[in-house]
Amino acid sequence: MKPEMITLKHGDATIKMPASSLAKLALASTFAVVFPPAANVDPVAPAAIPALGGYWPGQGGINGGFVAARGDVPAHYLIFAAKDAGSFEWGPRNTDLTGTSKTDGKLNTKLMCFDEKNYPAANACAEFEADGHNDFYLPAAAELYQGWLNCPEVFAQDCYYWSSSQRSAYGAFGMGFGDGDQDNYVKTSELRVRPVRRFFI
């Protein structure tokens, strides 16, 4: 059975086509007007990144800034908890915890939490939770320093904070946010603790 044919004329031009093809063309044209093709639609903008020191909704804390990829750690943003976890000792004095890093607080915290000795500052961070996230850790010296560079105002200015970076068997690095002083403190000292986590994008 031959398809029903329709002839369209406009001026000197003539088009002859099956009626079913014309119907499809008419529908496609109508939908193109009502629903523009995806190519003509503006792409959905990514969620706005808060200003440095601003709260990042759903991420458990404050935007501490972008960190470029280093070694096995991909590029990410540091998210500092919106509040301190308290004041704690770093850990036992006269104990050398091998393998700690000046830049990787997550690694340091794992080393401390899986060690048979007690490391109160690291444990407090590992137990911290906010916005449903429980992957916080005690920041390394470099991560605390980034906090001082990017958003020192969100930290207390009249005290020192522990980093997870060991200096020796007797001491570890601490940071003051009033003047950016980073120094060696006895591990049994009680300093402030601010948990941090990574947000990979």
Query: pTM value?
Result: 0.76
Do the domain assignments include residue 75?
A: yes
Q: Tens digit of pLDDT for each residue in 74-130?
A: 999 999 999 999 999 999 999 999 999 999 999 999 999 999 999 999 999 999 999
Do the domain assignments include residue 114?
A: yes
Do the domain assignments include residue 102?
A: yes
Higher pLDDT, 99 or 11: 99
Mean pLDDT of the chain: 86
Q: Look up tokens 């605390």; give the residue.
A: 144
Q: How confident is the model at residue 68 (pLDDT cuts 50, 70, 90)?
A: very high
Contacts with 178 (C-beta within 8 Å, 6 or more apart), sequence order: 157, 158
Q: Tens digit of pLDDT for each residue in 159-177?
A: 999 999 999 999 999 999 9
Distances in Å between the Cα of 174 and the Cα atoms of 27, 86, 122, 129, 168 are: 70, 15, 13, 23, 13
Do 27 and 85 lie in one domain? The reply is: no
Do 76 and 173 lie in one domain? The reply is: yes
- How far is Cα 193 from Cα 139, in angstroms, rounded to an integer? 9
- Return the CATH number at 82: 3.10.100
Q: Is 123 helix (H, G, I), strand (E, B) or coil?
A: helix
Structural domain that includes position 102: 55-199
Do 185 and 86 lie in one domain? The reply is: yes
Do the domain assignments include residue 49?
A: no
Do 32 and 59 lie in one domain? The reply is: no
Tell me which DSSP letter residue 42 carries: P
